[in-house]
């Protein structure tokens, strides 16, 4: 009988221990639920902050993406006379996002005359530009062309006149 009492007492202790543990777990789980809810609120706040930052970056990028970009698509050297002088004819394109107003061209550091099909190029627009300078362009000589825009940007292109 004493053995049965011991087994019953141990069983009762185990039941009390498990009941206490379940109660402790229940209390702890309530605290975890509060912490999880707090973390969810933090994540939602962080997500909103990321979205706000992304919107600000997009606005910032749009300000700076308004850029002038001029590329030379083609250059043809037209023979002007028998003494091997040429007239370069450029085909240029505005590949930027803002309009370009061409205001000047320099050849080897000196201002040159520019005759353009259009001095104002909208985005993606193309123009043909004939350039003349005092003394002309000589066969086999290298030239640095600097196209200057109203925005103050300079686009450099280096070419050598063909040999005759």
Q: What's phi and psi for 155, nearest 5 deg?
A: -120, 120
Looking at the structure, do residues 141 and 99 belong to the same domain, yes or no?
Answer: yes
Model pLDDT for residues 91-103, shown as the tens digit of each residue: 999 999 899 999 9
Q: How far is CA 14 from CA 9, 21, 24, 67, in A?
A: 9, 10, 15, 78
Looking at the structure, do residues 33 and 77 belong to the same domain, yes or no?
Answer: no
Tell me the average pLDDT across 137-148: 95
Looking at the structure, do residues 95 and 119 belong to the same domain, yes or no?
Answer: yes
Looking at the structure, do residues 84 and 154 belong to the same domain, yes or no?
Answer: yes
Final residue of a domain: which of 21, 45, 65? 65
Q: Which long-range contacts (CB under 8 A, 24 or more apart) does 14-21 make?
A: none
This prediction has a pTM of 0.61
Structure token pair of residue 23 = 């109660």
Residue 47 belongs to domain spanning: 1-65
Looking at the structure, do residues 61 and 85 belong to the same domain, yes or no?
Answer: no
CATH number of the domain bearing residue 131: 2.60.40.1890
């Amino acid at each position: 009988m004493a053995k049965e009492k011991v087994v019953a007492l141990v069983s009762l202790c185990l039941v009390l221990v498990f009941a206490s543990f379940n109660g402790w777990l229940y209390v702890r789980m309530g605290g975890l639920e509060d912490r999880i809810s707090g973390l969810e609120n933090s994540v939602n706040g962080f997500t909103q902050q990321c979205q706000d930052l992304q919107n600000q970056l997009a606005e910032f990028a749009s300000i700076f993406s308004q850029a002038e970009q001029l590329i030379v698509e083609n250059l043809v050297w037209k023979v002007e006379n028998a003494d091997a002088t040429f007239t370069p004819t450029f085909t240029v394109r505005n590949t930027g996002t803002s309009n370009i107003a061409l205001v000047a061209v320099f050849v080897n550091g000196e201002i040159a005359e520019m005759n353009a099909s259009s001095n104002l190029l909208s985005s993606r627009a193309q123009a043909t530009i004939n350039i003349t300078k005092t003394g002309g362009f000589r066969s086999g000589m290298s030239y640095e062309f600097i196209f200057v825009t109203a925005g103050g940007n300079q686009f450099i292109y280096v070419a050598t006149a063909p040999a005759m």
